[in-house]
Structure 1
Amino acid sequence: MLNIADTLHLWCREARPFALATVVGVHGSAPLPVGTSVAVDMDGNAVGSISGGCVEGAVYELCRQVLMDGGEAQRAWFGYSDDDAFAVGLTCGGELDVLVRRIDPAAQPHLAAALAGVVSGRPTAVAQVVDGPEKLLGRTLSVLGDVDAAQGALDGGELDRLVTAQARALLRAGRTARVEVGGDADTCPDRLSVLVHAHASRPRMLIFGAVDFAAALSQAGRFLGYRVTVCDARPVFATEARFPYADEVVVDWPHRYLERTEVDGRTAVCVLTHEAKFDIPLLRLALDLPVGYVGAMGSRRTHDERLHRLRAAGASEQQLAGLRSPIGLDLGARTPEETAVSIAAEIISHANHATGLPLSHGTGPIHEPLARRQGDDRVHEMAVHAAVGR
């Protein structure tokens, strides 16, 4: 639902009832992920998309039906039709599990507060029961990242506490996902499946080295939703005018800035200076931190020398194995803009545990990592061959 938070926030402020259709399960190749929603109000206005167009009409009619009946939540499955590829189904070959329920904002003020949090950029999670007893189906509670107590309720008891803890964990990870809870006497006798919609603060991209490549990468990082920082010890180069797409430009020694700034498991550290006096203390520190990605620019000769210096500085072989150097995927990049695409592609691939190989080399659903889909030695061989052939 957070994909349409702006409109839903407006409808909640106006106390306008609406039907919310949410993707709660995906099988095979589906165009949009779990948590994506469509909403329809009493006047027939619609917002959002869950399939890129192929099942929108059927979902719209189901939303209208739920609104008019004022009844319970409904489930619908949409999949590929072998008999007629243009029937109501996903022509891409996947399957969607969709939950549709009526939302009355006046009865759920916590939802308006959560949507307001999303619109204002605050870390916010909304937990929604998507499978379980009919009396609980569709119920929600909200978790604001800077507020201790959850808002709303599922059952008003231990189940709320358990789901709140799960929601906070997913919020910290910045990940929307389904979690299974209950099924025991201490929490809830019924087994429940809860979809946690998570809107986390933007992940950070820390770019060290105020060079032309940094200017292009900061633009790519901004486009991908990162909060971008460019840092360099040289004030003549580290200026806001040179990096208009960066959220902040910092003049400081790179390792000193990294010591005092906040990072987490989603942070990407990109070292573009390829000067040992900056690189070695910076990388030695970065490899000790719980960040998501560490990459360093330079030739293979620079990389070999860098590894030698890092070993001398006390870096372990396990830490060095996590260093992406030379930085980026092998795209044949030459210009700063092409190199930025190469680096961004590697960050995406790394975050999703994918191989970075062409999709045409694989089989099966494209929204699963290739290695997990094929699960054989051939994928490993292809990945090794691609790496050696760079």
Structure 2
Amino acid sequence: MDRRIFIKNTSLATAALALPKIDPLRSANLAKNNLPKWKGFNLLDFFSPNPKPVSKPTTEDHFRWMRDWGFDFVRIPIAYPYYLSIDRTKNITSEDVYKINPEAVDRIDSLVSMAHKYNMHVSLNLHRAPGYCVNAGFNEPYNLWKDNEAQKAFNFHWAMWAKRYKNVSSKKISFDLLNEPSMREDMNDQLSKRSAVPGEIYRKVAKAAAEAIRKENPRHLVIADGNNVGSTVIPEIIDLNIAQSCRGYNPGIISHYKAPWANKDPDHLPEPKWPGQVGNQYLSRAMLEEYYKPWIELTKKGVGVHCGECGAWNKTPHDVFIAWFSDVLSILSANNIGFALWNFVGDFGVIDSGRADVAYEDWQGHKLDRKLLNLLMKQ
């Protein structure tokens, strides 16, 4: 054999051996996602409509730990009454929703600034918007999906936030329109009968809010939570340049085991298993793969997808939680979909979660769920 040919062939063979092994099935399944694969946490400082200080506020240490552990994203769910100047002994009126309290807005801005200091992308979310919240506990004066006055107020609030961050890059901030939309019979009863918001109505509301935001800055990044409390893709808005946010709570018998706000009879539920037969259904990774298929397909259509909330309440047995959540995160991660755990400190979190069956690690005066943290870090 010609010496030059021999050297060339040998070099090519050596180079081929040096290349990383690629699983063709995994490679074929990887979707291009138009959103970054952010991973992080929800921060609940402004989650309540009551502006009194929370018992476990987010601190600079928290952001430092997040950054050092490799996280780059925080979602801040806000109840709009938190930053209003209103008489809280009375039900809110349609006029009250415009009474902005600048000091309360500044407190929210301070948390945003602290997050940016530690290189976190911040997703501002209206967890409670004029006329809708997935939770009860505050009486809304109207219905976001049916009343023009509610929609005008919704757009007003988003225009305010968009203007405040008019000059902030979309790499640093995004606007998550509304937490877990649904059509409920009674907007002030979270356990009343509910269904998906009709697609044309969701489109109308999302389109108007996005336009209000982008009037301040056409480059602002807008995200819409999935329909039917975050569970289903919204095909009606695919053409609106709005990213979509899914959830990591399926099935609810695992994620919200014994949660009183999610179950009418929380004390009489079948014991969760993963995988395994629970009640009248067999729970397995296959059901998760089917559940996330529409979201994966959405990324292939050029729509950015992120999982804005995920995790399980602290009554789910920890071994069941970790087994299930490993499958959830691996499916999301394999398709370049990032996530935000609900929450950082607290019942769903990695710190001070109050689980009875965890061997916690002492961490600077806190109780750290190291097993959960390691699972999150490796995604």
Alignment TM-score > 0.5, same fold = no
- Which is richer in strand? 1
Q: Which has the higher contact order (CA 8 A, sep 6+)?
A: 2
- TM-score, normalising length: structure 1: 0.28
- TM-score, normalising length: structure 2: 0.29
